Structure 1
């Protein structure tokens, strides 16, 4: 039995040490390990509160149980989470009114540059981070005044029942309607991810996407013309493609990885592939003028600890960037996560700076893409 377990661990790329740590963590989460609790009590202890934006629903419930409550227990600082559909309009309204009621906001990557330039955030105090947190996160996820809080992947998923011998494994397969027949779905609302999928379907490599030149856009829309007649429904809400896959109204579709993860863990007959996945980071920011800035710095440092990052992932399905959290996650979960290095290596990482850059006419690249996308959809 021992040999078979070790063999499975080697095949999954997971060490025996990682397996044992993950098993131990699974029995204690959301209880904080002694080393993390000691770190928090020594470096992050305080009093009072910190006000944090959140998305509501199961996301907030998961973060509250696996991050905020352990933080309060370890530091003595109470977390007050406030729910809104989107953080950015609320933050901008607060700054216009000259009254900042929140301490931490989660900001979509494409909105970050303009808010950064407007001076809405305070620098992150990385001196509060331990070596494990710093070593586990790539430098590009640690900005001067923002930290990648989690990554969202848009990936190709399919109904296993429709393809008992194996389903599509790439965007060229998605476009191959003869080799992989069946009803298809694509995300209706946003241009960028569909354009990238079309380029990959046309033979582009994941390393040759950015910048999206006009020539690349022409090729992408020509490729989208080919698949458009085979899209039976353009989905809008995040849970929609999962339900349509389960009800067999889709054979395949692009989906949010976190939504797929939740469904798969509940037994849904869905498979996903990371080939050509699209990764976008969302950022945690500390608002300038917020009522509890010091406590906000402490919470940011706490939630980027490896074990706490693992709790965030378990609670939300969307992992933060600290790869050391893999030591605290089960071997069954790791292959489904975008933070798994094997999965991330197959993905396109969003070039937020290029999307936010302005064109000669003053519009941003992302606005130009969206205008062209909407015109194409309306044809």
Structure 2
């Protein structure tokens, strides 16, 4: 997938843009478009799709060809409580604590060992983006690529959809 051919991708968008009813700008807007039946399909965050599904909206979703994004936690250089912060971060990413996350939200644990704790009900696993079987169906976003490309790609995309 990487490096992404931005110009080629934009050519593909140009071919279909006349069939796009809305370019959503927030997760809430994407949910509303789906819920109101204003769109036939959407690219939407799994947490938003899961919320729609739980609310009774007639939707289903798949992780096939999805994009997994990463996030990070940081401790600023020179922090006065570095050791305590390191202990806190270690606790935050521990399998036992991470296994609680999908009990409350549709985002999955970052630590794959959370799935081995037995805390996550088997029926929940199919809807969790970071479940091992779902990870195999997705591509991991390349932050270095987007660090170097995002501003220009976004500008080109915005110009294209405004034409």
What's the TM-score, normalizing by structure 2? 0.88
Aligned partner of 2:72 in structure 1 is: 283
Query: Pairwise mapping of residues 49-128 of structure 1 onto structure 2 (< 5 A)?
Result: none
Change in CA separation of 1:370 and 1:250 when aligned onto 2, cut-off 3 Å: same
Match of 1:315 among 81, 104, 112: 104
Distance 1:249 1:371 in 2: 26
SS of aligned partner of 1:220: helix
Aligned partner of 2:45 in structure 1 is: 256
Cα pair 1:241 1:250 within 8 Å, conserved: no
SS of aligned partner of 1:232: coil
Answering whether residue 129 of structure 2 is matched by residue 338 of structure 1, we say yes
SS of aligned partner of 1:333: helix
SS of aligned partner of 2:71: strand
Task: For residue 255 of structure 1, report the CA deviation from its aligned partner.
Answer: 0.4
Aligned partner of 1:375 in structure 2 is: 159
Distance 2:54 2:82 in 1: 37
Distance 1:290 1:254 in 2: 39
Q: What are the superposed Cα offsets for residues 5-44 of structure 1, whole Å, 9 maximum, x if unpaired?
A: xxxxxxxxxxxxxxxxxxxxxxxxxxxxxxxxxxxxxxxx
Task: For residue 291 of structure 1, report the CA deviation from its aligned partner.
Answer: 4.0
What's the TM-score, normalizing by structure 1? 0.40
Please state which structure has a larger fraction of its residues in strand.
1
Task: For residue 262 of structure 1, report the CA deviation from its aligned partner.
Answer: 2.4
Query: Pairwise mapping of residues 1-379 of structure 1 onto structure 2 (< 5 A)?
Result: 209-212=1-4, 216-326=5-115, 327-356=118-147, 364-379=148-163
Q: What are the superposed Cα offsets for residues 250-274 of structure 1, whole Å, 9 maximum, x if unpaired?
A: 2211101111122323333210011
Distance 1:265 1:324 in 2: 26
Which ranges of 4 or more aligned residues in structure 1 deviate by more than 4 Å?
none
Distance 1:295 1:332 in 2: 36
Task: For residue 334 of structure 1, report the CA deviation from its aligned partner.
Answer: 0.5
Distance 1:309 1:284 in 2: 14
Cα pair 1:313 1:320 within 8 Å, conserved: yes
The farther-off stretch of 327-336 and 316-325 is 316-325
Distance 1:300 1:254 in 2: 32
Distance 2:14 2:55 in 1: 36
Cα pair 1:244 1:250 within 8 Å, conserved: yes
Task: For residue 300 of structure 1, report the CA deviation from its aligned partner.
Answer: 0.9
Distance 1:350 1:272 in 2: 19
Mark the runs of 5 or more structure 1 residues left unpaired by the alignment.
1-208, 357-363
Q: What are the superposed Cα offsets for residues 310-353 of structure 1, whole Å, 9 maximum, x if unpaired?
A: 11333342223211212321122110111112211111211112
Distance 1:246 1:233 in 2: 14
Cα pair 1:306 1:323 within 8 Å, conserved: yes
SS of aligned partner of 2:3: coil
User: What's the C-alpha RMSD, in Å, of the aligned pairs?
Assistant: 1.7
